[in-house]
Amino acid sequence: MNAFVAAGRAWLAQDPDATTREELTELLSRVEQGDAEAAADLEDRFSSRLAFGTAGLRGTLGAGPNRMNRVLVAQAAAGFAAYLAERAGDATPTVVVGYDGRRNSDVFARDSVEIFAGAGLRAILLPRMLPTPVLAFAVRHLGADAGVMVTASHNPPDDNGYKVYLGGADDGAQIVSPADAEIAAHIQRVADNGDVTILPRSVGYENAPESLVEAYIAATAAVAPAPAGAEGLRWVYTAMHGVGWETVARVLAEAGYPEPTVVAAQIHPDGRFPTVAFPNPEEPGAMDLAFETARAVDAELVIANDPDADRLAVAIPDAEAEGGWRRLTGNEIGLLLGWRAARSASTGSLACSLVSSPGLQVVAEHYGLDFRATLTGFKWISRAPGLVYGFEEALGYLVNPDTVRDKDGISAAVAFLGLVAAARAEGRTVSDLLQEFRDTFGAFASDQISVRVTDLSEIGAIMASLRAQPPSAVGEVAVERIDDLLQGVDGLPPGDVLRIWLADGSRLIVRPSGTEPKLKLYLDVRGSSAKKARRRLDALRAGAEALLVSLR
């Protein structure tokens, strides 16, 4: 324990943040008084550090290398600057930085641009808190070598993160291997050198002009200018306490859509996320205020963005659903938007993560387009050759790959509003569109089981058990084959994913979450009708839950 106390004191000496210094000072005092709980907390903070990977950094705010804080961000910025300088050779790299409305996002962003500028890079800071898609757009629009977005997206309120994009040959996409390991090595060298207070800093960074935001708005509005059926559309929008609304409102005005009724309690940025347990539209209860608002105004549609507006959720009236509203699954939205993209594309590919609905492949084949299944995450989807559209079931959609090489909940919202308005002009609803899709391509049904854990080793143990003793059946349906993506399958990079194919054509995929302490199971079936697909899905879910019980 003395080693952790010494590490804590060394950390205090370089921490520029009064809040985390006070937090750590109190913790060290409790440890020195023999407080066992405090000792365990200190060990958790200093026995390891947040790993820099293909999702960048993400973790709980607090003091210590295993938390998100100004020391860790300074190390990350200095390490990333060294990586970019090495990559650029004699040229001067340009890096653009954005931030959302979470706690300390603005502080982390300014620390970053000061360190980038101090390292001799051309550093550009977005003009204010803005959605992640604006940062992703800015990397390409400015011809930057890299971008950093300070956000933890839809994670719990006490989290923050550091998402990294690369320009040039990477075309503004998120980093993938081996860049992640190379950047991590540079960051570790900075950390090993100790005191971040000696890192050179400069206030000679640039502030991005408002014209950059206007360019994003114009490009996004052009995704689906409002057709005639948009007039009089009654709909509700929530920003989930995030940064989406200002940009969304400007896009709507330029594209010609009627203003929505907003969920007033959730429309402005608030890093405390006071009305939701988790600021994620997928979580139970997160859209309750939106549904309440929709009932009050007799809305036809509800649209939600997550806090950094890179995801999109949609809900529609449904008399059979509790409260009269049903949130569409990510796969339902993704397949409708994929169908929209396929109808207007003559060449190219549709792509989705391997855990998303297999229905997109059927759409691609129907229209003579290529199809690509990728590992989970838009860092992979955005790199699909000839991409015209991509999605993942976790409410992520890329509808304008020539503009943004990442999921974008704002352009996806515009595209979906275009679908709704065009159908409305014909006297049809979203439910009618879903039925037409089933009639054309078959009834695909999906479900998901998420197991949240407090000890990450539990996830590793379950995955190890599945590999050591693979099931011969899930429920009453025999297992036909199992693809272990650690071994590399279908040309995909290795990943900690098990894909279980059943004799009736159903599919079960098991993988750890890349952003949260969860094990995720993805269930996919296809039937000749929605009712038959639902029955098959219910049976698969029961079998998967029984399998989980046997493994825990």
Residue 247: DSSP 8-state: H
The full length of the chain comes to 552
List helix spans (H) across 455-526. 457-468
- Parallel/antiparallel/unpaired status of strands 159-166 and 173-174: antiparallel
Query: Which residue in 118, 127, 181, 172 sits closest to 148, CA to CA?
Result: 172
Cis-peptide, bond into residue 178, ω within 30° of zero = yes
* Spatial distance between the Cα atoms of 216 and 134, rounded to a whole number of angstroms: 7
* Spatial distance between the Cα atoms of 341 and 32, rounded to a whole number of angstroms: 62
Query: Which residue in 225, 221, 203 sits closest to 213, CA to CA?
Result: 221
440: enclosing H helix or E strand:
helix 430-441
Position 436, amino acid = E
* Spatial distance between the Cα atoms of 530 and 233, rounded to a whole number of angstroms: 28
H helices, E strands: number in the chain: 17, 22
| Token pair belonging to 551 | 């493994």
CA atoms within 13 Å, Cβ hemisphere of 403: 22
- 348 Cβ contact partners less than 8 Å away, ≥ 6 residues apart: 369, 370, 386, 387, 388
- 292 Cβ contact partners less than 8 Å away, ≥ 6 residues apart: none
Query: Which residue in 324, 259, 256 sits closest to 294, CA to CA?
Result: 324
Q: Angle at CA 124, nearest 5°, toward 118 and 125?
A: 105
| Token pair belonging to 481 | 């084959």
Catalytic positions are 153
> In Å, what is the CA distance from 360 to each residue of 36, 116, 499?
53, 41, 17
